[in-house]
Structure 1
């Protein structure tokens, strides 16, 4: 098994969080959820935000390596489409989503989603798809070739000079 934590600076917080991710992956056979990783890291005295942030970096690297090792069709890195189908809602309100739908939604193992109802239509979105949509919308706001970071630095310098 390829241990990703060995590719980062040893002894760092990043290395420890990546090691937690690698160990959970090795033990369970599936990538861990951000919640699992953050809970373990916080129990060790770490910061929850750092745990989630480094987990997302680990997962991105893990998926990139998986994509290199497997055909592109095997791993969905962008949202997919599933045609309409009939499903049932149990009396207690539970909906079971088949694996192909969960994959198309880029749904993590932790199963967290955000839901809304618009004109009687239930809309369910995974955090990954929500981030992708936000990234796409943000890119549309910034002219090509523009670095938002350069604009921010220029604004901060102007503010500092004005003081």
Structure 2
């Protein structure tokens, strides 16, 4: 009778410990899956479309000179559609560029903005940062340039 009680108690303790660890690891896995999903959403909806616009502004041979007002408004539309995914630094860069556009409102529409490449550097860095976080190939030189 005593052996049966010891076997029941040890089985119960083993079941409780196993359940605890299983719950703990499942919870961590679920949090990680949500994080990867959120990171993928940021990459897909914010940084990839913005980077496509900035790459289109890059002239082969000459490099990146800046973006036009129209390109800036396209980027602003992307940001408005995904406002909950935008990081504050990108928001402040866009705010300063919009302020610059407001000052240059009466100038010709071919005037280029972001000549200091602040927006381009930020977008390239975060694009590669998020790719690294979800395990996709990334450019190490773009990561180190921002730091």
Normalization by structure 1: what TM-score?
A: 0.24
Q: Which of 1 and 2 has greater Rg?
A: 2
> Whose relative contact order is higher, 1 or 2, with alpha carbons under 8 Å and at least 6 apart?
2
Normalization by structure 2: what TM-score?
A: 0.26
Higher helix proportion: 2
